[in-house]
Amino acid sequence: MNVSSQYALRSLMRSTTRTLLSLIGVGIGCAIAAVAVAWIKGESGMMAESTAMSGQGYLQVVPRGWQESRDTRLRITGDWKKLRKTIEGVPGITVVTPQVETQGLLGMGTKVQGVSLLGGDPKSEREIRRTIRAVSQGRYLQADDKNALVLGSELAKRLDVSLNDEIVVTAVAPTGEMNSSLLTLVGVVHSGSRSIDATVAHTNLNDAIHLGGRPGVERFAILVNEPKDVGPLAQRVERAIDDSKIKEIAKVDTLTWIQVNPSLVAAKKADAAFSNAIIFVIVLLVILGITSAQLTGVLQRGREFSALLALGMKRRTLWRLIFTEALFTGIAGAVLATVFATPALWYLSQVGVDYGAISGNESGMNMSGILLDPIMKADVGIWVIPFLLVLAIGATLIGAIYPAIYSLRIDPASILRARN
Amino acid sequence: MSESEILISAEKLVREFGHGATMVRALRGIDLQIHSGEFVALVGPSGSGKTTLLNQLGALDQPSSGELTVLGKNLNQLNKTQRSELRLHRIGFVFQAYNLVPVLTARENVEFVLELQGVDATERRKRAIEVLDELGLGKDADRRPEELSGGEQQRVAVARAVASRPKLILADEPTANLDTENAEALMTMMRRLHDEQKMTFLFATHDPRVMRHAERIITLQDGSVLSDEAKEHGAEHHTDLELT
* Whole-angstrom distance, CA of residue A374 vs CA of residue A197: 16
pLDDT band at B238 (very low <50, low <70, confident <90, very high): very low
Q: Could you tell me if A295 and A402 are in contact, meaning their C-beta atoms sit under 8 angstroms apart?
A: yes
Residue B33 backbone phi and psi in degrees, to 5: -135, 130
Neighboring chain A residues of B84 at a CB cutoff of 8 Å: 309, 312-315
Residue in chain A lying closest to B94 (CA):
A311
Euclidean distance between CA atoms B223 and B242, whole angstroms: 17
What's the CA gap between B171 and B164, in Å, rounded?
16
Q: Is B102 on the interface with A (CB under 8 A)?
A: yes
> What 3-state DSSP class applies to B214?
coil
What gap in Å lies between CA A62 and CA A54, rounded to an integer?
A: 17
Other beta carbons within 10 angstroms of residue A148's beta carbon come to 21
pLDDT tens digit string along B20-41?
A: 888 888 899 999 999 998 999 9
How far apart are alpha carbons B48 and B51 in whole angstroms? Answer: 9
Neighbours of B51 (CB within 10 A): 23
Any alpha helices (H) in A351-383, and if so which ranges? 355-359
B61 interfaces chain A, CB cutoff of 8 Å: yes
Which pLDDT score, from 0 to 100, does residue A368 have? 65
Coil, strand or helix at B231: coil
Extract the runs of DSSP E, i.e. beta strands, from A163-292: 166-172, 178-189, 201-204, 219-224, 252-256
> Per CATH, the architecture of B36-60+79-235 is what?
3-Layer(aba) Sandwich (3.40)
Rounded CA-CA distance B156/B104 in Å is 12
β-strand B6-17 against A375-376: which pairing, if any?
unpaired
B190-215 mean pLDDT: 86
Distance CA B32, CA B167 (A): 18
Examine the pLDDT at B120 and tell me if it is beyond 60. yes
CA angle A94, A95, A99 (to 5 degrees): 160
Would you list the domain boundaries of chain B? Answer: 36-60+79-235
Contact B115 A3 (CB under 8 A): yes
pLDDT (0 to 100) of residue B13: 92
Query: To the nearest whole angstrom, how far is the Cα of A315 from the nearest Cα of chain B?
Result: 8
pLDDT in tens, chain A (420 residues): 888 888 988 988 888 888 999 999 999 999 999 999 998 888 888 888 888 888 889 999 999 889 899 888 888 988 889 999 999 999 999 999 999 998 889 998 889 998 889 999 999 998 998 878 788 999 999 989 999 999 999 999 999 999 999 999 998 877 778 888 899 999 999 877 788 888 889 999 999 998 888 889 999 999 999 888 889 999 999 999 888 877 666 689 999 988 888 887 787 788 888 888 888 998 899 899 999 988 998 888 888 898 889 888 888 899 999 999 999 999 999 999 999 999 999 999 998 887 766 666 555 666 666 767 777 889 898 999 999 999 999 999 999 999 999 988 888 776 556 544
Which chain A residue's Cα is nearest to B162? A311
Contacts of A408 in chain B (CB under 8 A): none
Sign of CA dihedral A323, A328, A333, A335: positive
In this prediction, residue B244 has a pLDDT band, given cuts at 50, 70 and 90, of: very low
- Euclidean distance between CA atoms B187 and A252, whole angstroms: 96
Cα distance from B240 to chain A (closest Cα, Å)?
A: 23
Say yes or no for a CB contact (<8 Å) between B96 and A6: no
Closest chain A residue by Cα to residue B52: A417
Closest C-alpha among A342, A333, A316, A341 to residue A394: A333
- Give the pLDDT band of residue B233 (cuts 50, 70, 90): low
The vertex-A128 CA angle with A123 and A131, nearest 5°, equals 100
Amino acid at A397: L
Chain-chain contact of A312 with B55 (C-beta, under 8 angstroms): no
pLDDT for B35 equals 92
pLDDT in tens, B165-179: 898 999 988 888 888
Mean pLDDT across chain B: 86
Residue B241 has pLDDT above 60, yes or no: no
Is A420's CB within 8 Å of B80's CB? no
**C-alpha span between A274 and A280 (Å, rounded):** 10
Q: Do A3 and B91 touch (CB under 8 A)?
A: no
In b/e form, how buried is each residue of B75-97, taking b as 16+ CB within 10 angstroms?
Answer: beebeeeebbbbbbebbbbbbbb
CB A132 within 8 A of CB A155: no
Ranges of beta strands (E only) in A176-315 are 178-189, 201-204, 219-224, 252-256
End-to-end Cα distance, chain B: 27
Q: Which residue of A has its CA nearest to B58?
A: A310
pLDDT given at position A130: 81
Q: What count of Cα atoms within 13 Å lies in the side-chain half-sphere of residue B88? A: 22
Contact check, Cβ <8 Å, A420/B81: no
Out of A313, A412, A419, name the one closest to residue B116 (CB): A313
